[in-house]
Amino acid sequence: MNFDPTSLMVYLVVGSQNVNDDPNEVIRVVQAACDAGVTSVQYREKDHSKLNQAEKVALGQKIRSITKAANVPLYVDDDLPLALAIQADGLHVGQGDTPVQEIHQVAPGLLLGLSVHDLKELAASEADLAVVDYLGVGPAFATTSKEEVKEAIGPKGVFSVASKSSLPVVAIGGIQEDNCQELAELPIAGVAVISAITASDDIQRSVQKLRGVTK
């Protein structure tokens, strides 16, 4: 799959740890989100996920079938063997995760996303950017959906990185229906969310509000 920056408009990040360790709920959320118009999905099993590798592959294959039917790119968070096993479209890594150059050498066909917190990390990542398709920048706001999260950088912090990057940027971290419009004027391609969709009482409504950030 070729990378399309518009695929970052509403980017769902989800794993079993985000839905009370219930793989069936992951499937429900991904299906509902794709039906509602999310434009990318990242399968992320971290933060004390209780699934073993075989269970991750089985769940990932079900997610893959949903995203493929919806023509939505599927990324895996920092697990190259899992990404290859489920034939994901791409991989997303953070600072300190598997080096992007190493991933590109092993699987040059995978789309690649890289997390960047600030201008210092952007500068430190300079050598990797040639093989990266997009940057995930944040956390935009305080978040409890991930463990070991860095300090929120706010819309100004997201702007500072996005305005200096030649790559498309998706803002991530603490983004909800009630604060997403604070990002509407920034030079970003979209927003990435976890609980704004996984904990939503109306996924259709939530996705449409999030889509409004970059319309």
Please tell me which residue in 7, 40, 44, 64 is annotated as part of the active site: 44
Q: Is 174 annotated as a binding residue?
A: yes
C-alpha–C-alpha distance, residues 205 and 92, integer Å? 27
Q: Is 178 annotated as a binding residue?
A: no
Q: Is 115 a catalytic residue?
A: yes
Please tell me which residue in 7, 16, 115, 165 is annotated as part of the active site: 115
Please tell me which residue in 16, 40, 64, 146 is annotated as part of the active site: 146
Q: Is 209 annotated as a binding residue?
A: no
Q: Is 150 a catalytic residue?
A: no
Q: Is 102 annotated as a binding residue?
A: no
Q: Is 136 annotated as a binding residue?
A: no
Residues in the chain: 215
Q: Is 133 annotated as a binding residue?
A: no
Q: How far is CA 139 from CA 34, 88, 99, 185, in A?
A: 24, 25, 21, 17
Q: Is 64 a catalytic residue?
A: no
Q: Is 146 annotated as a binding residue?
A: yes
Q: Is 195 annotated as a binding residue?
A: yes
Q: Is 44 annotated as a binding residue?
A: yes
Query: Between helices 23-36 and 203-211, what is the axis angle to 10°?
Result: 50
Q: Is 97 annotated as a binding residue?
A: yes
Which of the residues are catalytic? 44, 115, 146
Q: Which residues are annotated as a binding site?
A: 42-46, 77-78, 97, 115, 143-146, 174, 194-195
Q: Which residues are annotated as a binding site for Mg(2+)?
A: 78, 97
